[in-house]
Amino acid sequence: MTILRVAFNPNDTFATASMDCTVEVWSLDSPEFIYTLVGHSSIVNCLDFFTCDDQEYLVTGSHDQTAKIWDLQKMMCIHTLEAFVSPVMSLLYQPDLQILITGSQDGAIYLWSTRNCGNYSCPPALNRIIKVGCAGAVYHLACVMGGLLIGKENAVAIIDVDDVNYQEQPTDKSEQQLSACTTHHAGDMSKQEKAWSKSKLLDVHPLELRFPYCPNEPIPCSLHLTNNTDENVAFRLVDKSGKSPWCFTKLPLCGIVPHGSTYTLTVTMKEEMKLKEETDFDLVIQSSLLGDKYIEVFNDQSESDTFFKEAKLFGNMVHEVTLKAVYVQYGEITSENISVKYNPDSLWSLDAHPTEPWILTGHNSGYARIWNNEMKFLINSFKVSDQDAVSCVKFIARKQLIVAMTDLAHLHVYDCSCVTKIEKISFERGDYGTSTLLAVHPILPYVLASGLVLLNWDLSWKTTRIFESEAVTAETVVFNTRDTNSFASGSYDGEVQVWRLDSSDPEYSLIGHLKKVTCLDFVTCGDQQYLISGSYDSTVKIWDLQKRECICTLEAMSPVHCVLAHPNLPVIITGTEHGIIHLWNSTDFRLKRTISLGGGGPVITLGCLMGSPRVVIGQENAFFAMDIHDDWGGQPQGRDNFIGLLGSSLEEALPAKRHRQW
């Protein structure tokens, strides 16, 4: 075990940080550590002990861009500070002011109030961000002569912390303007927007981003871009003032709006940005026609920057629309109801309870967590495995159980009410691959697990049947809610197979995808049922189960990770590798809307809150909850994203690399 950092406590204990992202607490009286603290998803760069209200705590800063405060009596993390945009490199506690000071790799210093540190529901509030003029990471912090000594890569700075009363500064919560519109100022917004729509490639709505004032929480706001031209339009949202790294979770944001469609961009302001001095933004939407460039999606920000640089170089028109941003009271908000929670512990799986307001998540760290349906409050957190990621999690609502599957094909069963482990089931996988799968039958006492192994919980989780196929590696599986004796699986070689529960062999196969099938769902339109499949070939296919053929292909422009047929609305939702959500009409299978949620990473999973238009979107590093509106599907859009394949010939499946891709 390689020790990276060490900190001593006056009570004859000390803590160490090691390469495996864990923290061990030791006693000077023993060569063995007392206990381990697990929670960070990357190496711990700094740690220190501090006392607040006669209670001892340990604070750790990590390369995962978070700092965590640990209760040493309960041996658990009680607060995670997530305001950072770069790794946390140093930290220091100032007991006289009850201020926790953290320094980051990008040179910023964060000051947090710990006056209510012992209150688990009241995390430390970020009071100020300080940017020292000299460049370099903040590697060292120390108190000297009543001031704060800051050690950077090529410089040392001293600031007078005691001279600033951070806790006493008032904050205007009514309407705090965040940016000045340099081209157009406040006035009749409807007339202004109408003028823009006539002269620009994109209709941009609203021109005023209205962020609800919400202390200590990320603040999302939707921006709608409508392309009424006959060509695809590239865009990016930039802050010409250069202040966006301190205020927004990710800027610039970029994308491509297909012709005749609407693109919804979610702009998220950091929870700490309620200070008056950070108000002078210069937010601009830039747009340009793609022309003869065949680009479906920007793989990263550099591709977008290169495109706009070349557009200006070759004299192509780049249109700009200037935006305003203001804080407003909750009652003044009229935009979509969106909640966001950023999560440094990489998400692998998610499930929504069908009757209770609970969201269940599985993580790379081996933990599973239960959240309220807005994901603002953590209800429970429990360790499933010390060695493996929690690849799949599911509620079994009618039995009040939780099941969690890890990478080594161990099924863990928990009582849902008190989250206590009932048993751990190990089983031999079938020949149908090594990917981690988990599906719960809608009415029968069955769970379908990795390797297409059918387990019966009424028979003490006995293996009832192992399904076998010549296809390689089942990647995804779904039960048919209409025909309860049937299910479908998608394989690594791009093949979709339909099975009967009373037979170990597949009933028939559906061939058409060129790469691995990552997700499946069933959708009913009138009396007709279809199967939906998403693939790493960047398409979604709709299969007619009576004719056993693909009737249409939806072009998602990026590898598809997840698909969900909304149970209450005529909508199919797909999530992609590049963090893009597509909404398709489940009646005519045409594109209704494109949604970008910002910098949370690939869209890993989707969930629906029963009886509600609200959906939960799990990205690799963030969760979103948002309402799907009826008016979003008024007219079909993006006709080129629909390819009819009635009577088409079968496509030849191509091999793909055998590793998990995100």
Q: Does the pLDDT value for residue 190 go beyond 60?
A: no
Q: How much is the average pLDDT of 462-471?
A: 84
d(CA 125, CA 271) in angstroms, rounded, equals: 9
What would the two tokens of residue 214 be? 């919400």
- Of 47-51, 168-172, 574-578, 625-629, the range with the lowest mean pLDDT is 168-172
d(CA 109, CA 129) in angstroms, rounded, equals: 6
* Strand bridging mode 208-212 / 324-328: parallel
Q: What is the mean pLDDT of the chain?
A: 78
In the three-class reduction of DSSP (H, G, I as helix; E, B as strand; rest coil), residue 312 is classed as: helix
Confidence of residue 327 (pLDDT cuts 50, 70, 90): low
Q: How many CA atoms lie within 13 A of 117 on its CB side?
A: 26
Closest CA to 218 of 547, 534, 585, 598: 598
Q: How much is the average pLDDT of 149-165?
A: 69
Confidence of residue 630 (pLDDT cuts 50, 70, 90): low
Closest CA to 267 of 655, 600, 502: 600
Closest CA to 225 of 191, 184, 256, 181: 256
Q: How much is the average pLDDT of 643-647?
A: 33
Q: What percent of the chain has pLDDT over 90?
A: 27
Q: How much is the average pLDDT of 220-239?
A: 84
First vs last C-alpha separation in the chain: 29
Confidence of residue 580 (pLDDT cuts 50, 70, 90): confident
Q: Does the pLDDT value for residue 572 go beyond 80?
A: yes
Residue 25: predicted pLDDT: 93
Confidence of residue 657 (pLDDT cuts 50, 70, 90): very low
Q: Which helix or strand (DSSP H or E) is residue 501 part of?
A: none
In the three-class reduction of DSSP (H, G, I as helix; E, B as strand; rest coil), residue 244 is classed as: helix
Q: Which residues face 475 on adjacent strands?
A: none
Residue 39: predicted pLDDT: 87
Q: Which residues face 384 on adjacent strands?
A: none
Q: Does the pLDDT value for residue 602 go beyond 70?
A: yes
Residue 270: predicted pLDDT: 65
Question: Which of the pair, 492 or 660, is modelled with greater confidence?
Answer: 492
Q: How much is the average pLDDT of 15-21?
A: 88
Which domains, from first to last, does the chain contain?
Answer: 3-160 (2.130.10.10), 202-328 (2.60.40.10), 338-627 (2.130.10.10)
Contact 61, 52 (CB under 8 A): no
d(CA 18, CA 299) in angstroms, rounded, equals: 34
- The phi, psi pair for 304, rounded to 5°, reads -65, -45
Q: How much is the average pLDDT of 351-360?
A: 88
Q: Does the pLDDT value for residue 216 go beyond 70?
A: no
Q: Which helix or strand (DSSP H or E) is residue 177 part of?
A: none
Residue 392: predicted pLDDT: 92
pLDDT tens-place string over residues 120-140: 667 788 777 776 656 678 889
pLDDT tens-place string over residues 241-258: 665 544 566 666 888 888
Q: Residue 3: how many CB atoms within 10 A of its CB?
A: 10
3-state secondary structure 424-482: EEECCCCCCCCCCCEEECCCCCEEEECCCEEEEHHHCCEEEEECCCCCCCEEEEEECCC
| Residue environment code for 157-185, b if the CB has 16+ CB neighbours within 10 A, otherwise e | beeebeeeeeeeeeeeeeebbbbebeebe
In the three-class reduction of DSSP (H, G, I as helix; E, B as strand; rest coil), residue 411 is classed as: strand
What would the two tokens of residue 443 be? 């009415």
In the three-class reduction of DSSP (H, G, I as helix; E, B as strand; rest coil), residue 219 is classed as: strand
Q: Which residues face 8 on adjacent strands?
A: 14
Closest CA to 301 of 234, 225, 347, 247: 234
Confidence of residue 200 (pLDDT cuts 50, 70, 90): low
pTM beyond 0.75: the answer is no
d(CA 228, CA 384) in angstroms, rounded, equals: 50
Chain mean position to CA 572:
19
d(CA 267, CA 239) in angstroms, rounded, equals: 12
Confidence of residue 271 (pLDDT cuts 50, 70, 90): low
Largest CA-CA distance found in the chain, in angstroms, rounded: 81
What would the two tokens of residue 406 be? 């890890």
Closest CA to 359 of 339, 384, 344: 339
DSSP codes of every residue in 89-144: EEEEEETTTTEEEEEETTSEEEEEE-TTTT-TTSPPEEEEEEE-SS-S-EEEEEEE
In the three-class reduction of DSSP (H, G, I as helix; E, B as strand; rest coil), residue 191 is classed as: helix
d(CA 571, CA 630) in angstroms, rounded, equals: 9
* Strand bridging mode 591-596 / 262-269: parallel
Residue 193: predicted pLDDT: 38
Tell me how long the chain is: 662
pLDDT tens-place string over residues 385-406: 888 889 999 999 999 999 999 8
Q: Which residues contact 242 (CB under 8 A, 6 or more apart)?
A: none
Q: Is the peptide bond before 252 cis (omega within 30 degrees of 0)?
A: yes
- The phi, psi pair for 257, rounded to 5°, reads -100, 115
Specify burial of residue 121 (Cβ count, 10 A radius: 0-12, 13-18, 19+): exposed
Contact 266, 596 (CB under 8 A): yes
Q: Amino acid identity of 270? A: K
Q: Does the pLDDT value for residue 613 go beyond 70?
A: yes
